[in-house]
Amino acid sequence: MRVKLSKNASLFLRSEQHYLEQFNPRAADAVLRQLRTALRMLADYPEAGSPHATLEGRRRFVSGDYVLDYRIRGKVLEVSHIRHGRQLPPDLDAEEGAEG
C-alpha cells in the first residue's frame, strides 16, 4: 500500500526534526527512523491502528511517543496528522472538508 502524508503531517515531521536537532541530533535521527519504520509497517499492515474513537473511517496508530491519524482510501494510506502524544489532538472534524 502506498503512504501519502498530508501537508500537516509533513510539516510536523520537518518541525519536529528541526526542534530535536537543536538539543540532540541523534535523538532527531532516532525519532525520524522510528516514524519511517511505523509508516512502512502501516503500509504493510494498514489495519494495525485502532479505529478512531470519534471519526468514522479514520484510524489511529501509536509509535513510541507519537500518534499517527490516518485513513485508508483504496490502495493509499493517507496520514492526516502526526503529533507527540503530549500534544492536544487536532480538530479533525474542522479539517475534514479541507482534506477530503
Q: Which domains, from first to last, does the chain contain?
A: 2-87 (3.30.2310.20)
d(CA 13, CA 35): 9
Q: pLDDT per residue over 5-19, tens digit each?
A: 999 999 999 999 999
Residue 93 has pLDDT above 70, yes or no: no
β strands within 6-90, DSSP E: 50-51, 58-63, 66-73, 76-84
Residue 50 has pLDDT above 60, yes or no: yes
d(CA 62, CA 77): 15
- Mean pLDDT, to the nearest integer, of 59-68? 96
